Each structure stands twice: as structure tokens, then as C-alpha cells.
Structure 1
């Protein structure tokens, strides 16, 4: 238990630091729309690669269809509810209430951390690969947090503190995921992994790629999705 927890927390420290780095970079200089789109495509490709190569095959091999169905369905419902919460209080132009958005981001990063902890049910390699994908995702969560709070008129100090709290949320979620992994039966682990798969699919299709397509897209930006996918796929074969 102690060894697993220490590894999980070590891995989780990377996306936690990426959350803070994304916020600080957004405060210093906003990346261009083209660069944001390219990196979001790349991040979506890496996360999708982990799903296709590691997590989904592991669920298939477990052969627990009903826990998988229930966990997946709850994951979809949770992510849709989270989307509704983050958009509540928006104005006619579609901007979102920063308080609701930050709450949703907080839940999101805790869930990301928990997924790192739970991924150890499939193996340490799977945990490492998922961490690589989530580093890019949490980087943009931090940048989104900073941009939203800056638009709302918050000070740089308050934005930095909020980003640090989000980073702590990643670590807290990872610790909780590791504890759950060592405390529940395989049936519940299967359901929780299916919940995580649904959350990651939502992340790729409804967040990263949707935001990446907001502006005019070039073939190079689109190709970054496939580059992220194949790079993580190659890493998986080499380690």
C-alpha cells in the first residue's frame, strides 16, 4: 500500500505542477490560438491512445459487463452534469460564471488525480502513460482557470493561489484513488475504471477537441492529434 501510494503521488505531482505552470504562463503571455489548438490536438491524441491501447483492453479482459455498463453510464451522467454546472449563470454571449467554472475545474482535476491512482489497477505502465496524457490536459486547465479569472478582474496573486489549490486537488484525488484501489473488491474497481474511461472520452471529444476546433484549423494542427496518439503508442511498445 505504501509503495503504491508513493508511486501514485510521484506521478500525480507532474500534472499538479502542470496545472500551476499553465496558469502562470497564461498570466505572463497568452499563447496564440494556433499554438493552443495544436497542443490541444496533441493532448487529445495522447489521452485517446491510453484509452485505446491500455484502459479499454483491460476492461475487456476483466469481463464484467454489468459493472462496466453501470460505471460507464454514471461517468457519462457525471460529466454532462459537470458541463451543465460550469455553464450555469452564463450570459447571452455564452461566457460562463467564473465561480461555477472554477468549481467544475476543481472537480475535474480531482477526478484526473483519482484516475491516475485507479489506473494502477491495470498496471504501473498504464498509470505512467495516463499521467503523460493528463499532464498536457491539466496544463490547459490551469491556463483556462487563469484566463477566466483574469477576465473576471481577479489579481495575479489570487489566480496563482487558485491554480495552486487546483494542483493540490490533483494530488488529493490521486491519493484517494490509490486508497480506493487497495480497499475495494475487483467489481468496484471495474466500475470505477469504466467511470474513468467515460470521463476521459468526454474530455477528448467534448473539451479538448471542441476547444481545438473553435478557430480556423490547419492540416498541421489536425495532424498533432495523430502525432500524440502514435507517440504514446510507441512509448507503450518500448517500455
Structure 2
């Protein structure tokens, strides 16, 4: 399956989320539950599809260390973007860079295997869905018009397919370097789960149901993986 088709799901999810959020205001607990669920799905995709390729790939410990270190440095830079650029512009810039990295990781996963790419696309669709809900709330006071908000979010999510296209040359890399890139993607996904989705989800007081959504998402992707095997 072409990677461009896999990116249509997250882009469509962001647009739909923006449209729904302009019509119906989602409560903090609803958004927290969605984030927990998305975090569980992304974690399952990272652990089930990317981690085995890194562990059993043709890379040296040095390649894995360098790739993972670069992934961590990249995500820390994204985190600092919101501090360097104050206000909503910082949030938009951080989300834009985040989407570009997500697309890059999706492209790398697709090169590792079609099933890995498909499962990760499902996981990122849920992540982008939650981003669409949050970003709509931030953009509405600035843009005033619901159509402008939806169009802006749709345009921003196009960075995801752009990132996926940037991963295309990775297929030409030697096996150790490609596995190092997978390590970069793995760290980026784990950072997304632990330092973004779950941290933001915990800004709202958890209930047992909200907490359970993480494990529902995790198990749902594991079951889907088993069905696809």
C-alpha cells in the first residue's frame, strides 16, 4: 500500500475532529479519555511492530544508540518550541513539527513492513484526532470562523504526508543505518506516549474509566495485530 494512502486517515481524522469540535464542545474528560486510548494504541504499535525490528535488526549497538539519541534530541527540541515561541503560535509550531516527525516515523515503519505501517497509521490517526480537538479550541478565538479553523488544521496536517515522503530515501540506506532510523522512530513514539499524550491527559483528574482507556487501546491494537497475522 502506498504510504500516501496511509496518511489520508490521520489527515481526515484531524479535519473531522476540527469540524465536530466547532459544532460540539468536547469536555476535558472526553478529550482525556481519547488521549488515554490513543496513547495505548501508539504504545502497542511501538512495542509490537517497531521494537522487534530494532532488537532483531541488522544494527550494532552503536547504530541503535545513535538513532535513539537523535530521536530523543529531536523530540526535546519539539518540546522546547512552545517555550521559544509564546502563545498559540508556539503550540501550532510544535504541533506542526510533531506531525512532520510522525509522518517520517510512519514512512520508516512502512518501509519496515506493510503491516507495521498500517498499524502505526491507525495509531497516529487517533493521536491526530486528539490534536484536532485541542487545536480547534486554541484557534477559534484567533480565527473566529469555523471554516478557517477547519481549513487551517487540514493544511497543518499535510505536514504528516510530507514527513512520510521524506522517509522514502531511507530504503536506500544500509541495513544498520536503517535499523538506527527505526530506533529513532521508536524513541519518538515512546516520547509521544509518555511526555505528550499521557501528560496532557493527566491534566484532568482521572476516573477508573479514563485510566482504563489506555489499556483498552493497547489491547485493541494487539488484537487487531493478531487478526492481521
* TM-score bracket for this pair, using the shorter chain length: over 0.9
CA contact (8 A) 1:19 1:166 kept: no
Aligned match for 1:72, one of 68, 71, 74: 68
Q: 1:93 — aligned with what?
A: none
Give the secondary-structure state (helix, strand or coil) at the position aligned to 2:158: helix
**Deviates most, 153-162 or 101-110:** 153-162
Give the secondary-structure state (helix, strand or coil) at the position aligned to 1:216: coil
Q: 1:206 — aligned with what?
A: 195
Pair 1:86 & 2:82 matched: yes
Count, aligned residues: 227
**Deviates most, 77-86 or 19-28:** 19-28
Q: 2:136 — aligned with what?
A: 146
Q: 1:9 — aligned with what?
A: 4
Unmatched 5+ residue regions in structure 1? 1-5, 91-96
Pair 1:34 & 2:29 matched: yes
Q: 2:166 — aligned with what?
A: 176
In 1, the alpha carbon distance for the partners of 2:67 and 2:144 equals: 38
CA contact (8 A) 2:58 2:176 kept: no
Once the two structures are superposed, what CA deviation does each residue of 1:137-187 show, in whole Å capped at 9, x if it has no partner?
01112222221112445533432222121222112112222x223332223
Q: 1:219 — aligned with what?
A: 208
Equivalent runs, 1:96-115 vs 2, <5 Å: 97-115=87-105
Q: Flag as ranges the 4+ runs of structure 1 deviating above 4 A.
A: none
In 2, the alpha carbon distance for the partners of 1:144 and 1:163 equals: 11
Q: CA RMSD in A?
A: 1.6
